[in-house]
Amino acid sequence: MSTLYRLIGSLHTLTGLAGAISEFLRVMDSVRKSIATEAGLSANELRAMARIAEADGVTPKSLADDLELTTGAITAITNGLVARGLVHRVEQGHDRRSLLLHLTDDGHTLMEAAYTRLQRELGVAVAPLTKSDEAAIIRGLSTITESFREQESAE
């Protein structure tokens, strides 16, 4: 692997694959913020809705862990999403303190619009790539992701 870090004066700079991934993540964060703003949400609200949509029901504690936010922050976020009719709470079994968060029909509609926009923007971004290049990127990112997951579980 090539060098992935440089110190230039007092600047710490990632290079190579790590630098490219870091830049990609920054751009994706910017796209997410733009999509969230267009939907009338904060970036964290959109992140929360995406996670709820992926899980088809998630506990507030699990959501807080996944998004690396406090349970208080998740309570504030979900209260706002519930008030806007985008998310609803469903009690789990007989324990009224245990609940799952689900998207409402309006929440599903909003997420469909958000993912459609993301798909359109990614489509433009990857248009210069060949199908083979795109497949290689997907394979590479999947391999890297799986390796990181294995390292985390081994710790």
Query: Which residue segments constitute the domains of the chain, with CATH numbers given?
Result: 43-120 (1.10.10.10)
Name residues of the chain where pLDDT drops below 70.
Answer: 1-3, 5, 94-97
Cα 147 from chain centroid (whole Å): 19
Beta bridge partners of 127: none
Look at residue 3 in the predicted model and tell me its pLDDT: 66
DSSP string, 11-56: EEEE-HHHHHHHHHHHHHHHHHHHHHHHTT--HHHHHHHHHHHHHT
The 10 Å Cβ neighbour count of residue 1 is 6
Which H helix or E strand runs over 89?
A: strand 87-92
Look at residue 94 in the predicted model and tell me its pLDDT: 67
Whole-angstrom distance, CA of residue 14 vs CA of residue 3 = 9
What pLDDT digit, counting tens, does each position of 52-93 carry?
A: 999 878 999 999 999 999 999 999 999 999 999 999 999 877
